Structures are given as structure tokens and as C-alpha cells.
Amino acid sequence: MMKERKVSFSGIQPSGELHLGNYLGALRHWPTFQEKYDCVYCVVDAHAITVRQDPAKLRRSTLELYAQLIACGIDPEKSILFVQSQVPAHAELAWILNCYTMFGELSRMTQFKDKSARNADNINAGLFTYPSLMAADILLYQTDVVPVGEDQRQHVELARDIVKRFNGVYGDVFTEPEAVIPKFGARVMSLNNPESKMSKSMPEGCVFVMEKPEDIMRKFKRAVTDSDTENCVCYDRAAKPGVATLMDIYSACTGRSFEAIEAEFAGQGYGAFKPKVGEAVVELLRPVREETQRLLADKAYLESVYRAGAEKAAHVAERTLRKVQKKVGFLAR
Ligand code: TRP
């Protein structure tokens, strides 16, 4: 890759279905990076198997997510868009980086602690070394910026520490990446439990990108508001978390301020407000859903795109990998 522009690397796991929180908080903004950076987008199926997956479902979700990224506006001609397991350099570099990552560092990762508490019967080595694979993803492309949510900051910091350690011994091999935590990453809360983040584990409060409009409408009509008899559409996150959640979503879909929304629904109450939010979400997601369905109906096209993406990725990644292999003392092929 020519280093005229900075390189941005984004990774997303194909575990389960994409929902409104993922879309509003991250995916919706991803295509805009293409204006500013040389972008690499990766569906990280190798990370997904750190927890048990149903193989047929994983294959399906990987392809669906790949199609959704295109449907959101990522241009596979302009950017590198690929599936992680199809570029072996990721696994190869991850092994080498494992030998430059400390047991203590990995033990301090909060995601590892959380996930091992939740999957007590499957605390496998892959779950533990997850951050070295993530570092390999990032470092193979000489990445400058990594747009992630707050929860991934610690992993990017670890990647930086690995770079410092490795470059300290061998010279300037890797670019030091920087996490960028976007401000727009509005946390979307659950529709039926506005104290928790929207999550696929609570499907009634979660709206999926591929969901049918009538199902989306039903979820919004049933959304928790509050028992306040005034029925007032006004923003008060502490006193009226359900209404605040709906206002957050409506604002993110329409670009309107809370004041404008309050004025729009003055004197109308929740009965009028809830279906309006539902409609705004349905219309926001419609083009993504329809384009994804269109792409998924053309398997031959999708295959040709992900093959070309893997080839482009491998070309860049192998350059870095060869350099690293030489530095650590592997015999040239
Ligand atoms: N760990 C990230 C997540 O769960 C996904 C990911 C894998 C990633 N490799 C990456 C993100 C590289 C950014 C860069 O969200």
C-alpha cells in the first residue's frame, strides 16, 4: 500500500446478527473513513471461534456480514474488504506475536476476564491469546488508526506495547497504531430494558438490521417508556430512561436535536411517538436490508468479491510477514 494516506483498520466479528446498536454506533460511520484513509475492513471469523460456534451458522453469518458491509457503503474496489481466515498471514503473525506478548499482559485484559467468567466451561487458549491475533490483524497492514469502541481500547494499547517491544529489538518493523474512539458512538440501549445496552441476548429489546419492518414496528410499539401519566416526550435519562432511549434512536435516525423532537411531539404522548421512531428505524435500515438481500442472492458475485479482497489483503500482509520472519531468524523460503 502506498503510504500517501494513513491506513485505517476495522475488524468486526461475525457472531450473531447485526443490530441497530452496531449499525448506529459503528457500521454506519465506517464508509466515511474511505474519504480520509486507505481502509482495510475485516470480518474476523478466526476471533469468533474463541467461543463455540455452530459451523453452518458461522459460515452464513460471515457471508451475511460481508454483504452487509458492502450494503452499508464500503466499496470493495476502493478499500480492502476481506475475511480473516482467508488470509493465512494473520494466523502466522499471531503465532510470532504470541512469543512477544507476556502472560501477565494477557491476564490483565478485561475482555478475557469477562468472557472467561461467562464461558467458564471453555476458557481456551485462543480466548486468552485473542489480543495477539488482533494485534496481528492491525500490524500486518502497517495501520495508523484503529476505529474501535471503548471496550477495545485496551487491546489496541496492547498492540502498541507489542510494537514498541518488537521494534525495540529489531528496528522499525511495525507502524505504531492508535485507537480512535469516535464521539458519535452513541450507546443504543435496549428497548425493553433501557438500563442495559441493546444486545442480541435480549432479542425483544433488540432490533436487527435484517428484521422485517412489521417486527421492528411491533418492538417499538412495545418499547418500555414509563408510567408517568403526563406521557410527555421529553429528555430525562435518569427519570425517564425508556423515553430517552427512544429519543436517542430517533435523533440518530433523523439528525434532529432533542429540543426539535420535544417540539415535534408536544402534546402528543407516547402513543404517537413510539410508532414514529419505529418508522424512522425501518426507513433507515430498509436500503441496507434490501441491498444485503440482493447481494446474498448473487453468491457467485459475492464469492468473486471476497476472493479478490483476500488476494489484495494477502499481498499487503505478506510483505510485512516476510520482513518479520526474516527479523526473527526464520530461513527464507
Ligand atoms: N476485537 C474486536 C471486537 O470484538 C474485533 C477485532 C478483531 C478488531 N480484530 C480487530 C477490531 C482489529 C479492530 C482491529 O470488536
The finding on whether 251 has its CB within 6 A of some atom of ligand 1 is no
Q: 111 C-alpha to center of ligand 1: Å?
A: 12
**Residue to mutate, 19, 82, 141, 152, ligand 1, most ligand atoms under 8 Å from C-beta:** 152
Q: 112 C-alpha to center of ligand 1: Å?
A: 14
Q: 11 C-alpha to center of ligand 1: Å?
A: 4
d(CA 116, CA 95): 21
Q: 109 C-alpha to center of ligand 1: Å?
A: 14
Q: 272 C-alpha to center of ligand 1: Å?
A: 39
Query: What are the residue ranges of helices labelled H in 145-269?
Result: 153-170, 213-221, 241-254, 258-264
Strands (E), 19-164: 38-43, 80-83, 145-147
CA distances from 299 to 63, 151, 302 (A): 9, 34, 5
Closest CA to ligand 1's atom 10: 11
Catalytic residue among 200, 219, 221, 327: 200
Asked if 299 is an active-site residue, the reply is: no
Q: What is the mean pLDDT of the chain?
A: 95
CA distances from 325 to 138, 239, 279, 320 (A): 17, 58, 54, 9
Residue located via cell numbers 512469543: 99
Asked if 197 is an active-site residue, the reply is: yes
Q: Quote the pLDDT of residue 174.
A: 98
Q: For the stretch 107-139, what's the b/e string if a residue is b when 16 or more beta carbons lie within 10 angstroms of its beta carbon?
A: eebeebeebeeeeeeeeeeebbbbbbbbbbbbb
pTM, entire model: 0.95
Nearest-Å Rg of the Cα atoms of the chain is 22
Count of CB atoms within 10 A of residue 158's CB? 20
Return the ligand 1 atom nearest residue 143 CA.
Answer: 14
The finding on whether 124 has its CB within 6 A of some atom of ligand 1 is no
Catalytic residue among 78, 113, 115, 221: 115
d(CA 260, CA 104): 51
The finding on whether 26 has its CB within 6 A of some atom of ligand 1 is no
Q: Quote the pLDDT of residue 117.
A: 94
Terminus-to-terminus CA distance in the chain, angstroms? Answer: 23
Question: What residues of the chain score a pLDDT lower than 50?
Answer: none
